[in-house]
Amino acid sequence: MKLQGPAWKRPARRWVVSFGLVVLALGALTTPAFADDENGDDDAGVDQNAVATAMAAPLVAGTPCTITARACVDLDSQRAWLFSDGAIVRGPVKVASGGNGKATPIGHSLRVYRKDAEHKSVESPLPNGQPAPMPWSVFFADGGIAFHSGSPTRSSAGCIHLADPDARAWFNYMAIGDQVQVVKASQELPRHKAQPAVSKKAGEIDPLRGLHDDSAPAPDGNSDGSDGSDNSDDSRDSN
């Protein structure tokens, strides 16, 4: 026969269990509500106030991103832009996002957390086993997701491929902490249907010298990024 402990101890045990359940319940109530997963949002784990602010702001005219962003990616059209205070300073440029079950995460307030002009990926090596080059990498999401030089006609393993001149422009322009929005126009345009978009004019980005205004001398070569040639090696990392 199993003996019970002293009677005076049993209520204490029940009190401990009850207290634990109350703590768990309070924790669930105070945990921030993350963006809904059905849209594939990667806003979980980031500042939810920043997410709410970004989603409530008006769109930059001609894009599916809001004025709080510094870089915008539309997964529907496979295009990207750079913004400065709600004005387009570069774009649209052609990009290639993740494919083959490795989609680029959607997010309204992703942040640049690392830059590496000569990054090499050990996660996705070349066929010969060597780390794959990812020039001009600007990392903005968990899992090593970055903008970098790569074929804008070939899907990645989650990163955003940019033609080399555009990748250099993104690298030169973006700073640590800058907001990146990766969205789908088919979701964002209806959401902002009743809100006027912001239309402002700004200069272009010179990939070698950064932002300049419209009165500055035109840079050598093709730096507008709209139809820049792909200088990337097809054997590069699929990221």
Give the β-pairing of 114-121 and 132-141.
antiparallel
State residue 157's pLDDT score. Answer: 80
Cβ neighbours, 10 Å, residue 210: 11
Question: CB-based contacts of 217: which residues, under 8 Å, 6+ apart?
Answer: none
Nearest C-alpha neighbor of 206 from the set 237, 173, 180: 173
Residue 40 confidence (pLDDT) above 90: no
Question: Of 44-58, 102-116, 152-166, 200-214, which range is least confident?
Answer: 200-214
Per-residue pLDDT band for 31 (boundaries 50, 70, 90) equals: very low
Burial-class residue 182 by CB neighbours within 10 Å (0-12, 13-18, 19+).
buried
Give the β-pairing of 71-74 and 132-141.
unpaired
Residue 161 confidence (pLDDT) above 60: yes
How many angstroms separate the CA atoms of 78 and 208, rounded? 24
CATH number of 39-203: 2.40.440.10
Nearest C-alpha neighbor of 67 from the set 77, 76, 55: 55
Residue 65 confidence (pLDDT) above 90: yes
Could you report the per-residue pLDDT of 78-126, keeping only the tens digit for each? 999 999 999 999 999 999 998 878 899 999 999 999 999 989 887 777 7
In the chain, what are the domain boundaries? 39-203
Per-residue pLDDT band for 231 (boundaries 50, 70, 90) equals: very low
Q: Cα angle vertex 141, ends 106, 84, to 5°?
A: 80
- Report the mean per-residue pLDDT for the chain: 75
Instruction: Using the CB atoms, write b or e for 120-145: b if 16+ within 10 Å.
Output: ebeebeeeeeeebbbbbbbbbbeebb
- Please give the sequence-ordered ranges of beta strands (E in DSSP) within 107-238, or none if there are none: 107-111, 114-121, 132-141, 145-149, 160-162, 179-183, 205-206, 210-211
Residue 219 confidence (pLDDT) above 60: no
* Biggest CA pair distance of the chain: 94
Question: CB-based contacts of 222: which residues, under 8 Å, 6+ apart?
Answer: 165, 228, 229
Answer whether 148's CB lies under 8 Å from 83's CB. Answer: no
Mean pLDDT for 146-159 is 90
Residue 27 confidence (pLDDT) above 70: no
Answer whether 177's CB lies under 8 Å from 145's CB. Answer: no
Q: Which of 3-12, 24-33, 213-222 has the highest mean pLDDT?
A: 3-12
Residue 48 confidence (pLDDT) above 70: yes
State residue 105's pLDDT score. Answer: 93
Residue 172 confidence (pLDDT) above 70: yes
Question: Of 54-63, 139-148, 211-220, which range is least confident?
Answer: 211-220
